[in-house]
């Protein structure tokens, strides 16, 4: 978990950060439909998991830029930039209708990531414990799938006074629209470290990574 502490005097968003972390503490959420037609076809052709493939391109998109990899350390009041952001995924247990938190590590290499994340999921299926361990995992982002619902919008509420910078991403069930498979993807970001430009860039990067994985 390598990181560096951001020098607020030279931080390119220092004035914006100050305003939205002191004067007007707030976050925002955006939901957009992402075309996953090619990713679904790639998954079927390669006999791999669509879920794990999407988790990979999602993780790669969020690791593409420093602005998505911040963490605020309250004891020292440091804004930390981690060298990478790992996905926190979930296993849903149908028998108990509960979830188990699964901490996976991000690897840029697709096959390495896929194999490790798949093993993490299988191991988590053996327990019914919640498994939350935030203190030991500061450099993670919340990656949650809602395969039962194709939603139009989603908002995750956190106290405005809490400087939470880790991205929270939720995606739902895809549906066919004009011959394409469109999937709702929602992202929650803190306004002190991100704005509309960075939210839009996330979606553009996600689409680029999907195309790259599918060889398009």
Q: What is the pLDDT of residues 167-181, one digit of tens each?
A: 999 999 999 999 999
| Residue 201 pLDDT > 80 | yes
Q: Is the pLDDT of residue 162 over 90?
A: no
Cβ atoms of residues 35 and 206 within 8 Å: no
Q: What is the pLDDT of residues 115-130, one digit of tens each?
A: 999 999 999 999 999 9
Query: In percent, how much of the chain has pLDDT > 70?
Result: 100
Task: Report phi then psi at 106, rounded to 5.
Answer: -85, 130
pLDDT of 1 higher than 80? no
CATH node for 3-213:
3.30.559.10
The residue ranges of every structural domain in the chain are 3-213
Task: Work out the average pLDDT over 30-51.
Answer: 98
Q: What's the average model confidence in pLDDT over 27-47?
A: 97
Buried b (16+ CB within 10 A) or exposed e, 110-131: beebbeebbebbeebeeeeeee
How does residue 136 score in pLDDT terms, banded at 50, 70 and 90? very high
Over 90: is that where the pLDDT of 158 sits?
A: no
- Please check the confidence at residue 51 and state whether its pLDDT lies above 80: yes
pLDDT (tens digit per residue) in 85-124: 999 999 999 999 999 999 999 999 999 999 999 999 999 9
CA distance 141 to 172: 17
pLDDT mean across residues, the chain: 96
Label residue 45 by pLDDT band (50, 70, 90): very high
Nearest to 127 by CA among 88, 101, 105: 101
Q: Which residues neighbour 131 within 8 Å (Cβ) at sequence distance 6 or greater?
A: 100, 101, 102, 124
Write the DSSP symbol of residue 88. E
- Which whole number is the average pLDDT over 203-215? 98
Range of weakest confidence among 46-60, 97-111, 149-163: 149-163
CA–CA dist 203, 201 (Å, integer): 5
pTM for the full model? Answer: 0.97
pLDDT at position 52 is 98
The pLDDT value given to residue 57: 98
What are the backbone dihedrals phi and psi of residue 47, each rounded to the nearest 5 degrees, phi first?
A: 55, 45
Mean predicted confidence (pLDDT) in 28-41: 98
Question: What confidence tier does 216 reach under pLDDT thresholds 50, 70, 90?
Answer: confident
């Amino acid at each position: 978990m390598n990181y560096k502490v951001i020098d607020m005097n030279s931080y390119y968003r220092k004035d914006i950060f100050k305003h939205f972390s002191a004067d007007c503490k707030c976050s925002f959420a955006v939901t957009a439909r992402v075309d996953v037609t090619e990713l679904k076809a790639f998954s079927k052709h390669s006999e791999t998991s669509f879920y794990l493939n999407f988790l990979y391109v999602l993780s790669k998109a969020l690791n593409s830029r420093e602005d998505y990899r911040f963490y605020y350390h309250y004891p020292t009041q440091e804004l930390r930039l981690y060298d990478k952001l790992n996905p926190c995924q979930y296993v849903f247990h149908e028998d108990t209708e509960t979830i188990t938190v699964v901490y996976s590590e991000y690897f840029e290499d697709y096959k390495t990531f896929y194999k490790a994340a798949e093993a993490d999921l299988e191991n988590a299926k053996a327990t019914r414990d919640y498994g939350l361990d935030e203190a030991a995992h500061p450099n993670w982002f919340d990656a949650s799938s809602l395969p039962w619902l194709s939603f139009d919008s989603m908002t995750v509420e956190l106290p405005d006074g809490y400087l939470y910078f880790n991205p929270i991403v939720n995606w739902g069930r895809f549906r066919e629209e004009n011959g394409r498979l469109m999937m709702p993807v929602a992202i929650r970001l803190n306004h002190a470290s991100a704005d509309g430009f960075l939210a839009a860039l996330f979606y553009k990067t996600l689409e680029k990574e999907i195309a790259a994985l599918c060889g398009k």
